[in-house]
């Protein structure tokens, strides 16, 4: 079945640094990728939707200059948390969906990346 | 906007059936999903149902959809301790996925 790989699974960084998280669709071409944020014991909050080759669409309240999303190819999207602060510490999860021909037209999630900002 | 609601917690004895309920508000939903999340992990797709179906069975899992009442349920037969996790329902309307708040299921031996 469809597999989405997310890297790194855990990252600890100092306040003020930038962190990049990668999301890859391993065996299908992802027409759309989604980035979510999950606070402890809460549900997932959609941050942005990205389509290959175009700018990401951010949800209301999500700072696009803070959370840079690049969907450079049909198998890779990256989320960069710029100038990270402790309040950015969270669990970030990506998901991807392909078109009907890809056999992956159901959302598949990555395993998540836990960011801790000191 | 779309609202998806779930009960927060369910406790069940090992071997019994679990039923997790979910309600949604968007009548244009096309797919409805159930995901399982274990501590510190991502989401695992358990099953999904198209909005034109009213039931889907997959081994121990049975999904029931009442489109008129916008009510979705997931039944887990013969619940095992490994089923302890948080279960999220989610619906797709357009290209947007909206999650419920999650139901924490605790399976007691």
Structure confidence at residue A3 (pLDDT): 86
Nearest CA to CA, how far is B33 from chain A (Å)? 9
Structure tokens, B83:
């089923």
Nearest CA to CA, how far is A100 from chain B (Å)? 14
Chain A residues lying within 8 Å of B102, measured CB to CB: 42-43
The chain B residue lying nearest A49, using CA atoms, is B96
Per-residue pLDDT of chain A (118 residues; tens, 9 = 90+): 678 999 999 999 999 999 999 999 998 888 889 999 988 878 888 899 998 878 899 999 999 999 999 988 889 999 999 999 999 999 999 998 876 666 656 778 888 999 999 9
Q: Is B45 on the interface with A (CB under 8 A)?
A: yes
Cα–Cα separations (whole angstroms), residue A31 to A73, B61, B69, B87, B94: 9, 29, 33, 26, 15
CB A36 within 8 Å of CB A95 = yes
Q: For chain A, how far is it from start to end, CA to CA, in angstroms?
A: 37
Q: Cβ B35–A109 below 8 Å, yes or no?
A: yes
Q: Cβ A44–B45 below 8 Å, yes or no?
A: no
Q: Which residue, A110, A2, A57, is CA-closest to B95?
A: A57
Chain B residues lying within 8 Å of A107, measured CB to CB: 33, 45, 92, 97
The chain B residue lying nearest A5, using CA atoms, is B42
Structure confidence at residue A14 (pLDDT): 96
DSSP state of A86: G
Per-residue pLDDT of chain B (109 residues; tens, 9 = 90+): 678 999 999 999 999 999 999 999 988 877 889 999 988 787 888 998 988 889 999 999 999 999 999 999 999 999 999 999 999 999 877 667 788 999 999 999 9
Structure confidence at residue B91 (pLDDT): 85
Q: In what order do the strands lie in the sheet with A19-25?
A: A4-7, A19-25, A76-81, A67-73
CA atoms of A60 and A45, how far apart (whole Å) = 11
């Amino acid at each position: 079945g469809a597999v989405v790989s997310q890297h790194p699974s855990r990252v600890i960084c100092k306040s003020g640094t930038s962190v990049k998280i990668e999301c890859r669709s391993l065996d299908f071409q992802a027409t759309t990728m989604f980035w979510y944020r999950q606070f402890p014991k809460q549900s997932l909050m959609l941050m942005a939707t990205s389509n290959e080759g175009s700018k990401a669409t951010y949800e209301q309240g999500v700072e696009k200059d803070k959370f840079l999303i690049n969907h450079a190819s049909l198998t890779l999207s990256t989320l960069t948390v710029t100038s990270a602060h402790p309040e950015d510490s969270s669990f970030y999860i990506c998901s991807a969906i392909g078109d009907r021909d890809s056999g992956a037209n159901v959302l598949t999630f990555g395993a998540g990346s836990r960011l801790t900002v000191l | 906007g779309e609202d998806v609601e779930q009960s927060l917690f369910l406790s069940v004895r090992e071997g019994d059936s679990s039923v997790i309920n979910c309600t949604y508000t968007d009548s244009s939903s096309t797919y409805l999903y159930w995901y399982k999340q274990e501590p510190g992990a991502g989401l695992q797709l358990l099953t999904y149902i198209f909005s034109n179906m009213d039931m889907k069975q997959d081994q121990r899992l049975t999904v029931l959809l009442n489109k008129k009442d916008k009510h979705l349920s997931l039944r887990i037969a013969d619940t095992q301790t490994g089923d302890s996790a948080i279960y999220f329902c989610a619906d797709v309307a357009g290209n947007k996925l909206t999650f419920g708040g999650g139901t924490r299921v605790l399976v007691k031996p």
